[in-house]
Amino acid sequence: MAEPTQRKETREPWTDPRAVPYVRIENITKRFGDFVAVNNVSLKIYQKEIFCLLGGSGCGKTTLLRMLAGFEAPTSGSMSIDGEDLAGVPPYERPTNMMFQSYALFPHMTVEKNVAFGLEQEGLSKADIARRVDEMLGIVRLGELKHRKPHQLSGGQRQRVALARSLVKRPKLLLLDEPLAALDKKLREHTQFELINIQEQLGVTFIVVTHDQEEAMTLASRIAVMNRGEIVQIGTPRQIYEFPATRFVADFIGSVNLFDGRLAEDEPDHVRVQCEELPAPVFVDHGLSAPPEAQLWVAIRPEKFVVQRESPNRPDNWARGVIKDIAYMGDMSVFLIRLDSGRQVRVTQANIARKPEERFDWDETVYLTWEPSSPVVGTG
């Protein structure tokens, strides 16, 4: 799992000021009547990226994708791919291809015909088409099923036909609308890595729309989190997870415990935040630019807590509570712990204890501690 993502992170064109963006989206706005679906969005996407647009339903991510494909015209703003402006270019003349959420396979055509459709529109010779279709079907491992019709295929096979059909034209940009949503969990995980492999093999730039943050995490080189038609944060999966820019992102990505607090001590190298729901201040080992006494939010991921029976005996970064619920997940357990303030927090711990007496039990009083680098604080 780590291997493909690792390779991506060593290659970060967005940190290089000389790099030329491949896809430019500048101040794009789309209105449907009074409703603003996409609000003044600007993005720079680099070649060979897998760029994820992540957000809940109705956040405008699909509308943005459809504007790139040419199915919707932006109300204002401009888009270009590889230096070519897209304004007024109909979908059938764009250098993009799309993989639809429903796959949109042509039901009356065989797998082979479905994949060949796009090439036939280019007026290639029969031999060329057959060669490229076979090559593509080989990549998605569907060679033996090429004479089947879509309804004779399983969900995963259909997904691969859709992928082959959208990739066979060698688009400059592949748009994927919830590519894995229709697959069951096991198949989804398997397909994610397959998708990354194919992308690396062909070197096509991907833009993926998804509402599933796990999918975005594993697939993406960078993620843009969207909310209400606006982009809230752009960053690598690690940046988005570890350093959410706003309360919305912190809450949306993964599960998190959010506390409201007040800035008590603001130094260049650390801050101390007083939270009503925590018995001790939260000490964070980085500075923050906020006015004194500012209202803040503090986010602590469930896996960053350390659970212990002994009192920690330190001035900050601890809390006490009673275990109200335990969910055993195999590799880890999820604890719901009610703090003395009445606030319930979610804590996950790896199941590494071998002896039964080391395990925590229902209604046990425990202490929670965390490292000064663990909490994320913000004002937005």
Partner 1 sequence: MAPRNGRHVRAQPSAARLASPWAPLWQFIYRFGPPRWSDYLRRHWIGKPMVIAVPMLWLLLFFLIPFVIVLKISFSDTVIAQPPYTPLWEWAEEFGSRTLVIKAHLRGYTEMLTNSLYISSLLYSFKVAAVSTFYCLLLGYPMALGIARAEPARRNLYLMLVILPFWTSFLLRVYAWMGLLNNNGVINNVLQALGIIHAPITLMHTDFAVYIGIVYSYLPFMILPLFTNLEKHDQTLLEAAADLGARPWMSFLRITLPLSVPGIVAGSMLVFIPAVGEFVIPSLLGRPDQLMIGRLLYDKFFATLDWSLASAVAIGMLLLLVLPIVVFQHYQNRELLGKK
Indicate which single residue of 48, 89, 100, 303 sits in contact with partner 1 (rule: CB under 8 A): 100
Contact between 148 and 33 (Cβ < 8 Å) = no
Indicate which single residue of 3, 34, 93, 331 sits in contact with partner 1 (rule: CB under 8 A): 93
DSSP string for residues in 70-124: TSS--SEEEEEETTEE-TT--GGGSSEEEE-TT----TTS-HHHHHHHHHHHTT-
Closer to partner 1 by Cβ: residue 151 or 186: 151
Contact between 121 and partner 1 by CB under 8 A: the answer reads: yes
Count CB neighbours of 138 within 10 A.
11
User: Candidates 35-43, 66-74, 319-327, 351-359 — which segment interacts with partner 1 by CB under 8 A?
Assistant: 66-74
Can you name the residues that pair with 286 across neighbouring β-strands? none
User: Candidates 57-65, 86-94, 240-248, 331-339 — which segment interacts with partner 1 by CB under 8 A?
Assistant: 86-94
Binding mask 277-306 for partner 1 (x = CB under 8 A): ------------------------------
Contact between 91 and partner 1 by CB under 8 A: the answer reads: yes
Can you name the residues that pair with 26 across neighbouring β-strands? 78
Element (H, E) at 311: none
Contact between 63 and partner 1 by CB under 8 A: the answer reads: no
Minimum CB separation of residue 196 from partner 1 in Å reads: 23
In the range 140-159, which residues lie near partner 1 by CB under 8 A?
Answer: 149, 151
Closer to partner 1 by Cβ: residue 98 or 253: 98
Length of the chain counted residue by residue: 380
Contact between 55 and 61 (Cβ < 8 Å) = yes
**Count of positions on this chain that bind partner 1 (CB under 8 A):** 27
Using alpha carbons, list the distances in angstroms from residue 305 to 216, 287, 315, 345, 346. 25, 22, 16, 10, 9
Minimum CB separation of residue 104 from partner 1 in Å reads: 4
User: Candidates 90-98, 221-229, 280-288, 351-359 — which segment interacts with partner 1 by CB under 8 A?
Assistant: 90-98
Closer to partner 1 by Cβ: residue 28 or 161: 161
Using alpha carbons, list the distances in angstroms from residue 302 to 69, 72, 203, 307, 346. 39, 41, 37, 11, 6
Closer to partner 1 by Cβ: residue 58 or 91: 91
Closer to partner 1 by Cβ: residue 107 or 291: 107
User: Candidates 87-95, 136-144, 258-266, 299-307 — which segment interacts with partner 1 by CB under 8 A?
Assistant: 87-95
Contact between 32 and partner 1 by CB under 8 A: the answer reads: no
Indicate which single residue of 27, 42, 102, 351 sits in contact with partner 1 (rule: CB under 8 A): 102
Using alpha carbons, list the distances in angstroms from residue 167 to 96, 136, 305, 318. 10, 8, 44, 52
In the range 312-331, which residues lie near partner 1 by CB under 8 A?
Answer: none
Closer to partner 1 by Cβ: residue 153 or 339: 153
Secondary structure in 3-state letters for 228-252: CCEEEEEECHHHHHHCCCCHHHHHH
Indicate which single residue of 83, 88, 90, 292 sits in contact with partner 1 (rule: CB under 8 A): 90
Helix (H, G, I), strand (E, B) or coil at 303: helix
Contact between 165 and partner 1 by CB under 8 A: the answer reads: yes
Binding mask 187-206 for partner 1 (x = CB under 8 A): --------------------
Indicate which single residue of 3, 34, 122, 267 sits in contact with partner 1 (rule: CB under 8 A): 122
Helix (H, G, I), strand (E, B) or coil at 280: coil
Using alpha carbons, list the distances in angstroms from residue 103 to 67, 150, 165, 202. 18, 10, 10, 21
Element (H, E) at 263: strand 257-266
Can you give the C-alpha Rg of the chain in angstroms?
25
Q: In terms of C-beta density within 10 A (0-12 exposed, 13-18 middle, 19 or more buried), how is residue 274 classed?
A: middle
List interacting residues with partner 1 (CB under 8 A).
Answer: 69-71, 90-94, 96-98, 100, 102, 104-108, 117-118, 121-122, 149, 151, 165-166, 169
